[in-house]
Structure 1
């Protein structure tokens, strides 16, 4: 969800004021947090993250159509100690032109094994394929499919499963039963294959399939005291989600506005979640890379 400065501040102060407790013991364990600072005017608003298998190379997407690659430095414990941008591009429309305004509200990112990039957008709801970062977009949906989704709370999350199938889910849209619809691309068409149960005021903002084959969903709530984050996962069998687990629920203000998540396994065999925050281009916020270890 892209926030203007005034709206971001007002939401932080008064919207969705979930001040409930953190839900008991955490299954995820914090490794560390690194503030990523850069003076370039295009840097910020990071909404999606994909890591290489070793956790050292990152592909990151902003909500203003900037795609970045970066090299991460980690210490012996696996915490990020530095992030160095190695390239950046401004994504283009299907006509090959730069995008501004609602049409350029890029939110979700998935990277296929062959390097093909997939990006989900809200504002004008769609998913696009990019053969290269500098290529024109190839739109992958019938516009009717996502009609009715909220204008600024739609296709926030995008993920590829182990068989190469593409999934997306909205931040604010709900089905007729009040559940979170999960769409999958099949033979060029999107359809809802299953739904996930909402819990409390948290809303989906990122998703990834881990090396264990499970679906992980990062969620966010906004409170009077700051942002809260939650990470849940499911086994997906026969197009049905099962064995729901809540791995992490943070108290307000523990982290910034976490929106992107990548699940990977490190050299010690530990299952890891690395997350990135969207600073909304505001000085009162920060771009943060956060690492947790997860139970198998």
Structure 2
């Protein structure tokens, strides 16, 4: 059968399944590559937030001690990471221009960069979101988020994403393992709610991004003690009535990767690519990893 006709029949089959009320085949992820990143600076490590440029050639990476790194990415002909080249580093400041110390006020977790280039960072400990016009700027003083179930010490607004100028923040925990994650939105210095995300026991929300397909991607983590970390990626469509069409795209084995905490979703020319970064907790027994998958529908 000619390839064109076969593709047409395949697309028609999916449409007929949807029209008949039968779910279309779920998407899946193919592993592209894993890169272990190292650095000599004392502030290097603990990466919890990640933004990859739309063409995959640049990055911003946020540590959980209020340092932001940026630079370029070298890739081979298959698009696999071969080098992370640091071009700059900044120590983030508070609204008074004072560099943030590690700990309660400087526990930076989520990273989002708007189309205007402004940098948004979510913090836990002292729960808040800060806006930076550039990496060396003083933080803008913004309205603090409302308290929601699960926002305790070391479990605040961990996952952060931006779409059309609106920030979407998800706390690391909910009120209980059987309670959904609330979705908070922030725009024009006002907070609102955008529904809830179903939570499965043990899984915690640690990273988020909107893909070029408009879907909301959520990275989750499960710490299993001496067995190490497992990770999971879900995607869903955020509507006025809350999340819809949720899919689990990836569930890793314990110890398959390190402590994946940051997520960036972009298009590599062949398909949607997911890039994740691991937080090594500044421990020599852990490693800073960048793990990449390509979405296959």
Tell me which interval the TM-score lies in, with the shorter structure as reference length. Answer: 0.7 to 0.9
CA deviations 1:58-78 (Å, max 9, x no partner) are 011000000010211111111
CA deviations 1:227-254 (Å, max 9, x no partner) are 1000000012224210000000001000
Residue correspondence of structure 1 range 34-183 to structure 2 within 5 A? 34-100=35-101, 101-142=103-144, 144-145=146-147, 149-161=151-163, 163-174=164-175, 178-183=179-184
Structure of higher RCO (CA pairs closer than 8 Å, 6+ residues apart): 1
Change (3 A) 1:167 1:210: same
CA distance in 2, matches of 1:249, 1:169: 20
Determine if contact 1:67/1:133 at 8 Å carries over to the other structure.
yes
Change (3 A) 1:120 1:146: farther
Partner of 2:252: 250
CA distance in 2, matches of 1:125, 1:150: 9
- Measure how far apart 1:198 and its partner are: 0.5
CA distance in 2, matches of 1:110, 1:122: 15
- Measure how far apart 1:144 and its partner are: 4.6
Partner SS, residue 51 of structure 2: strand
Listed as ranges, the gaps of 5+ residues in structure 1 are 1-24
Determine if contact 1:174/1:181 at 8 Å carries over to the other structure.
no
Moved more, 125-134 or 168-177: 168-177
CA distance in 2, matches of 1:225, 1:175: 23
Change (3 A) 1:197 1:148: closer
Listed as ranges, the gaps of 5+ residues in structure 2 are 1-25
Partner of 1:292: 293
- Measure how far apart 1:29 and its partner are: 1.1
Partner of 1:10: none
Change (3 A) 1:66 1:35: same
Change (3 A) 1:192 1:176: farther
Determine if contact 1:150/1:173 at 8 Å carries over to the other structure.
no
Partner of 1:5: none
Residue correspondence of structure 1 range 210-249 to structure 2 within 5 A? 210-223=211-224, 224-249=226-251
Q: Which has the larger radius of gyration?
A: 2
Determine if contact 2:177/2:201 at 8 Å carries over to the other structure.
no
Q: How many residues align?
A: 270
Partner of 1:11: none
Determine if contact 2:178/2:201 at 8 Å carries over to the other structure.
no
Determine if contact 1:125/1:146 at 8 Å carries over to the other structure.
no
Partner SS, residue 104 of structure 1: coil
Residue correspondence of structure 1 range 174-213 to structure 2 within 5 A? 174=175, 178-213=179-214
CA distance in 2, matches of 1:52, 1:201: 32
Determine if contact 1:175/1:181 at 8 Å carries over to the other structure.
no
Task: Indicate yes or no: 2:28 matched with 1:27.
Answer: yes
Determine if contact 1:154/1:173 at 8 Å carries over to the other structure.
no
TM-score where L is the length of structure 1: 0.87
